Structure 1
Amino acid sequence: MKKLITALTLALALAASHTALAHESPARHGGIVKSAGDLSFELVNKDGKTAIYVDDHGKGLAMAGGSGTLTVLKGAEKTVATLSAGGANTLVAKDGIRLEAGAKVVASIVLPDKTTVSVRFAVK
């Protein structure tokens, strides 16, 4: 009986984890993708510029009127940058931000409808 309960628990845990991962879309811009709610956020650091691309079920979510902050934690160092609307579905960091391996990044994003979402990234 214990083996049956263990097998059922394991099967339910695997099914739940598969469902949770289903919302994360692949990286389209070479960044790190994380999901929060029904939205996907891709953190990209290219050519010295940091941006977050926001998608809703695979389609870009217009970020005009959106804003936020980006906090980078690397050891005892803490750097905070302001995010503002960039192109169609992006938020761009105003201050020069460095994303190095091992850094933890927390994005606090205010969507155009004034809903706030927090997303955490780990830079590898």
Structure 2
Amino acid sequence: MRFTTAFLALALLGAPMAAFAHGNMKPQHGGIVQMSGETVFELVVKPTSVELYVSEDDEPVASSAATAKLTLTVAGKKTELPLAAGAGNGFVGAGIKLPKGATVGVTVVDKASGAKTFTTYTLK
């Protein structure tokens, strides 16, 4: 009986730690956060530009080590929009306007390995 009680107590103490196993889901730049596996994407929509920030396991992914693009779907029409590498873990799409109600697919490709990571946003 003691063993069972002690085991359950330890299991309950360890349960909150599972919440810290993945990346931070709080916006760091005022954007919309999505997670794909261990990769956290933050999409920041501005009036005349878009910024994308990428982190993996709470570590910034250097934008110089990857390429990124958006696939914008509005009224069934798809448009691919490349993003330029910015400072740190940021990518920038200058002159891009994202309308409300659009679906935005994000693709990030690691230059060294060719590994692709995806996520999708629906803008409200």
Q: TM-score, normalised by structure 1?
A: 0.71
- Segments of 5+ residues of structure 2 without an aligned counterpart are 1-17
Distance 1:33 1:52 in 2: 10
Cα deviation 1:70-90 (Å, max 9, x = unaligned): 111111333221123111001
1:103 paired to 2:66: no
Percent identical across equivalent pairs? 30
Distance 1:117 1:51 in 2: 17
- Tell me which residue corresponds to 1:118: 118
- Tell me which residue corresponds to 2:14: none
- Segments of 5+ residues of structure 1 without an aligned counterpart are 1-17
Q: Secondary structure at the match of 1:64?
A: helix
Higher Cα Rg, which structure: 2
How far does residue 33 in structure 1 lie from its aligned partner after superposition? 0.8
Which 4+ residue blocks in structure 1 deviate beyond 4 angstroms? none
Are the counterparts in 2 of residues 66 and 84 from structure 1 also a CA contact under 8 Å? no
Q: TM-score, normalised by structure 2?
A: 0.71
Distance 2:104 2:24 in 1: 18
- Tell me which residue corresponds to 2:15: none
Distance 1:24 1:103 in 2: 25
1:33 paired to 2:36: no
